[in-house]
Amino acid sequence: MKITVFLAAFALAAPGAAANAAANLVVNGDFSDGNTGFTSQYTYAAPTSGALMPETRYTITTDPRSVHPYWVRVGGDNSIMVVNGATSAGKTVWQENIATIAGQAYQFTASAADVCCNSAHPGRYAASELEFEVSADNFAHFTTLATIDTAPPKDAGQFQTATATFTATGAMELRVVDALTGRVGNDFALDDIGVFALPGTGGGSPASPGGADPSAVPEPRSWALMIVGFAGLGAAARSRRRRMLGLA
């Protein structure tokens, strides 16, 4: 089953709901702790000049241009995962086991951007198609929660945010794969990956991750506002990161 990506393009709503949102079950989803908390079938390279010239490499940095001469600069000083896309199919870009609880509903959110290319690039551009997948059996079977497609070079540096909801069948695995394998231009960044329990939708105890307090089940209007608030988290995170193409 594939759920169509929802691009969060609205301002943060229901600030009270957002402020009271559940904790993110994804460890280091904003990459502020560097290369920790997740696994990858790509090869890690320290963020030095030219480090991501070969395909199937990634690093954690604040500036894609600092690790590849044809990529764009981005504003701000927030860490992101930047990736030189693989030329062979099936390699996992990012993966983490998530401590979800059976019967509990969750909100998924993630952001991604094309980072190719700046004005020095000689041409030829391949897109990326990032698929965000969830599984309960180590990806013997999986569901695609959302996709983000890039269109280099016109969208270079512009983050898109994808959101989806799902109900867990127990502890689950979350991963990102790139469905396209073009060699030139298939370069992207990931940020703000999150999984949040939706209040009042599961059978966990109030003290457990994802647990719902039966006395605090929201009214329909409040529940809708909380969903908007979750989506707004992604929009708010991206609002400070709206990136323009870097030519310097």
Instruction: State pLDDT tens for residues 106-138.
Output: 999 999 999 999 999 988 889 999 999 999 999
List pLDDT tens digits, range 41-58: 999 999 999 999 999 999
Amino acid at 234: G
Q: Is 212 buried (19+), middle (13-18) or exposed (0-12) by CB count in 10 A? A: buried
**pTM to 2 decimal places:** 0.75
pLDDT of residue 232: 55
Q: Is 136 buried (19+), middle (13-18) or exposed (0-12) by CB count in 10 A? A: middle
Who has greater pLDDT, 143 or 213? 143
What does the chain come to in residues? 248
Which pair of tokens denotes residue 104?
């509990």
By percentage, how much of the chain surpasses pLDDT 90?
62
Helix (H) or strand (E) holding 223: helix 220-239
* DSSP E strands, the chain: 6-7, 43-44, 57-61, 80-84, 92-98, 105-114, 129-135, 143-149, 159-167, 172-178, 187-197
Mean pLDDT of 160-181: 96
Mean pLDDT of 53-79: 93
pLDDT of residue 226: 52
pLDDT of residue 188: 96
CA atoms within 13 A on the CB side of 160: 19
* Pair type for strands 92-98 and 80-84: unpaired
User: Among 11-15, 149-153, 240-244, where is mean pLDDT lowest?
Assistant: 11-15
- Torsion from C-alpha of 196, 227, 10, 244, nearest 10 degrees: 10
Among 236, 75, 50, 103, smallest CA distance to 161 is for 236
pLDDT of residue 204: 46
Amino acid at 121: H
Taking 50 as the threshold, does the pLDDT of residue 34 lie above it?
A: yes
Mean pLDDT of 53-72: 96
Residue 170 CA to residue 192 CA, distance in Å, equals 23
Amino acid at 218: P
Contact (Cβ atoms closer than 8 angstroms) between residue 194 and residue 110: yes
Among 191, 187, 200, smallest CA distance to 26 is for 191
